[in-house]
Chains A and B, each alone.
Chain A
Amino acid sequence: MNKTAAIREVIGATVDEPIVFTTGYSCRVARSISDRPNHFYMTGSMGLAASIGVGIALSSALPVVVVDGDGSLAMNPGCLLTAGAMPNIPLLHLVLDDGLYESTGGQGVPSQRVDFTALARAAGYREVSRADNLSTFGKLLKKLLEKCSTPTFVHCVLTSREMTEPPPRIETDLYQHHLRFSQHLNRVNPELQ
């Protein structure tokens, strides 16, 4: 399983659920697979994807998916405390771990000795899982999305590198992108119906 395959699996498993994609290649890969209004491409603010997801989940009661990276989580592990402190929010926090800062040239993330699932559990996440192949990851996603009602963490271990060149940068107007996502949330938010 590589990053593109994992993101394709996430997109295939979701319909209307808001998804926050972290900076670097994740949002670029997602947009190249399918550019849907439920996608939020966080092109900067490395480390804050889960915090944004917490704010959406807290304010909309929608199950929110966050596609995070190991470098981002290592930069801001405090996001786990932010989510872990709110046991009743439907947040599905996926960390795609390739061990690399891929978009900056493939430098290694100093996380070989870090147990991300233990960190999440210690920070208050009620459900914590690990997947290292596409079949397990796909089944987990389906199961967790059906009944997500608490901060839920999946450490997704990427075992192979990307096969293709990275897709182009997000060049959409970021303000318009925010509006498109916000309008989507308004449309699907059960609390506003």
Chain B
Amino acid sequence: MPQPCDVTAAPIPPRRIRTGEVFMTVANTDVNCASILSAALLERGFSPFFGTPCGILAPLYTQLECQGGLWTVSREDNAVGVAAGAAMAGRSPVVLMQNSGLGQSVNAIASLVVPYGIPMLLIVSMRGIAPDFTTENGVMGRLTEPLLNDSGIPTVRLDAASVIQQVEWGRSFVVERRLPAALLVPPALFGWQA
């Protein structure tokens, strides 16, 4: 478990580094959004946090590691399994993953989370949608929402202006009604660039 650290020292994705003024403006906004999201999750009773790293999620990942503690699990379906155990022990866990890892997790979702009705919040980054046009991610980009929704897991696409209300939506499912739900992270939300 990482030790509490200085959140102001959270690393900014190197691809954002440009000239002084632009760097400061954009990077602060990105870190702020991740910081607001991280704080909103912690304030609303979510924990523990599990995740498999993803470039899009990196600013949020860092914030959570600093503010709340986050366990890195080497494959996403194992993270879903660990979260299922934590949820059955009464917690309201969160799993951070890229949507490629959602592909790895289909059976865990289809045969464990949904049929047993195990509460957890999935925070899934969306590779393969604009502005990410990488060919290898396009299929999961198209499948992410229908896959989750058709499995019976409701989704919301995060947007910077509504992060707090959207976390509150997640809380109403996971913490209050003890059901699974997913927040989807568009590539640019925390400043990711192709």
Contact = CB atoms under 8 A, between A and B. Distances in A.
Nearest to B109: A45
A36 interface: no
A58 B90 contact: no
B139 interface: no
Interface residues of A, number: 39
Contact of B118 (A54, A178, A186): A178
A51 B118 CA distance: 14
A81 B74 contact: yes
A42 interface: yes
A185 B90 CA distance: 8
Contacts of B77: 45, 47-48, 51, 76
Contact of A82 (B78, B87, B107, B118): B78
A78 interface: yes
Interface centre among B88, B91, B112 (most CB of A within 10 A): B88
Contacts of A24: none
B133 interface: no
A48 B90 contact: no
B74 A181 contact: no
A55 B82 contact: yes
Given A52-B84, A58-B85, A82-B82, A186 B116 contact: no
B141 interface: no
B86 A178 contact: no
Given A51-B78, A86-B71, 9 more contacts: A48-B80, A51-B80, A52-B88, A55-B86, A55-B88, A59-B89, A174-B116, A174-B117, A189-B90
Interface of A: 20, 40, 42-60, 64, 76, 78-79, 81-82, 85-86, 174-175, 177-178, 181-182, 185-186, 189, 192
